[in-house]
Structure 1
Amino acid sequence: MDNLAEHWQNLSLNEREDVNLELSEDKSSNEFIMAVKFLTKRALSVEAVIKTFNPLWRSKKGFKVRRAGDHILLFVFDNREEVDKILSSAPWSFDEHLMVLQRYDKEVPIRTLKFNTILVWIQVHDIPMRFLNHKVAEELCEVAGMMCKEEDINEMDGGSFIRVRVNIDINKHLCRGRRFSSSQGEQGWVSFKYERLPNLCYWCGSLSHVDKDCELWIESEG
């Protein structure tokens, strides 16, 4: 059916099939949808998912859940603000496994969605005191992923460290930190600490699988 939908222009249509229906915007639904992929090999229970996130997300009118593929669920809300709030509070996990969330605009097939990145807070530790500022922390975190500018600068202040919001690729190894040097010849290392991360592979540092599914672990025969 999907292939037919994609290639309908090449079909020979009969008189009834060729009658066009114009879909105006007033016929569209007012739903706001998140597409979520669960990075687990276990079977998903929709009932368990709803039971877990109902008290966490505290949606005023609740939400609906639809299955949309292999470990992919659609969460349907009636207002954008609740979706924005949930996305801004990422990362989320279920049963200690990572969930990759993204806004779904309903314009593209679900099978074409890429669940490759998540937003995380990174704590940047061990920055020399005279360089302990937001700009330096953001430059240091450029190797970890794409910066996400925070409007509330107070969210970045951790006292002895700086917090940076970063969009990271889950298929790449997590950066543990970064070397630095100063114009005075000082050299050192800053450490990255990731907030609220669930299970990850401690063999290679990837978030896309756990230890027992890692190629390094398999090649080493455990």
Structure 2
Amino acid sequence: MNELTKQWKGLSLSQREGPKFQMRPNLATTEYIIAAKFLTKRALNMDTIVVTFQPLWRSKNGFRLKNLGNHVVLFIFDSKADVDNILANEPWSYDKNLMGLQWYEVDSDVEDLSFNLTHFWVQVHGIPVRFMNKRVAEGLCETMGQECHLQNALTEDGGSFMRVRILVNISQPLCRGRVIAFDDNRE
């Protein structure tokens, strides 16, 4: 390798090849990219992926795919709003298997991406109505992941629950529940 490097340094371009061509940011195309890791052992069919997600994502100008191997696929969009909408509505699945999604910066290496965090909506039942607030949701959900968004929901049959959007580390086992203690020693 050192021999090749030494030979390469000995080469020079003639005047006919011209001066350096400066790659400026204004020359680059504007693309917004989502990197997706398909958490399955089955082979991926790119045509089926397009047919599956085009009607679901309803992207204004559609998207292009680039298969990077190892079940990692880049979804390339023309619109930042499309990417923001897709990421805001995760989790997504394909063929009944979870997909890990991540915003992809063009200058970063795909090998550096970590696909172990995914958003989930979690329902919290059995909470008295007066305790249905953001502080209680944060306290209850801190063991599951990072709390992102709270939504109270009163059901038609008189029951009530909180919906909490949580960023979950999917490489760890899921929490099955949490014991709640009240001041009067009830659990």
CA distance in 2 between partners of 1:102 and 1:143 (Å): 23
Tell me the amino acid that sits aligned with residue 157 of structure 1: N
**1:171 to 2:171 alignment:** yes
- What is the CA–CA distance in structure 2 between the aligned matches of 1:89 and 1:53, rounded to whole Å? 13
Cα distance per residue 1:56-105 (max 9 Å; x no partner): 11111110000112001000000100000000000000000000001001
Q: Match for 2:153 among 158, 161, 170?
A: 158
2:47 is matched with which residue?
47
Q: Which residue of 1 is the match for residue 81 of structure 2? A: 81
SS at match of 1:106: coil
- CA offset at residue 51 of structure 1? 0.3
What's the offset of the Cα at 1:108? 1.1
Distance 2:131 2:25 in 1: 52
Report the Cα distance in structure 2 between the residues aligned to 1:20 and 1:37, rounded to whole angstroms: 38
How far apart, CA to CA, are the structure 2 residues paired with 1:99 and 1:130? 37
Moved beyond 3 Å, runs of 4+:
19-22
Per the alignment, in what secondary structure is the counterpart of residue 184 of structure 2? coil
- The corresponding residue for 1:31 is 31
Q: What does residue range 36-185 of structure 1 map to in structure 2 within 5 Å?
A: 36-148=36-148, 150=149, 156-159=151-154, 160-185=160-185
Q: Is there any run of 5+ residues in structure 1 with no aligned partner, and where?
A: 5-10, 188-222
Q: Unaligned stretches of 5+ in structure 2?
A: 14-18, 155-159
Query: Could you list the per-position Cα deviations for residues 87-134 of structure 1 after superposition, in whole angstroms to 9, with x for gaps in the alignment?
Result: 000000000000000100112111121111101111111113332223
Report how far residue 20 of structure 1 moved. 6.3
CA distance in 2, matches of 1:112, 1:75: 17
Mapped to 1, the partners of 2:78 and 2:137 lie a distance apart of: 38
What is the TM-score normalised by the length of structure 2? 0.85
The answer as to whether partners of 1:134 and 1:162 remain within 8 angstroms in 2 is no
Shift of 1:21: 5.2
Counterpart of 1:71, as a letter, is H
TM-score (norm 1): 0.72
Deviation at 1:135, TM superposition (A): 2.1
Distance in 2 (alpha carbons) for counterparts of 1:141 and 1:82 = 29
1:139-190 Cα distance to aligned partner (Å, 9 max, x none): 1001000122x3xx6xx01110011111101111111111121222221xxx
Residue 198 of structure 1 is matched in structure 2 by none
CA pair 119-20 structure 1, distance change in 2 beyond 3 A: farther
Higher Rg: 2
Residues 132, 152 of structure 2: 8 Å contact kept: no
The number of aligned residues is: 172
Amino acid at match of 2:129: M
Distance 2:70 2:63 in 1: 21
Worse overlay, 19-28 or 96-105:
19-28
Letter in 2 for 1:41: K
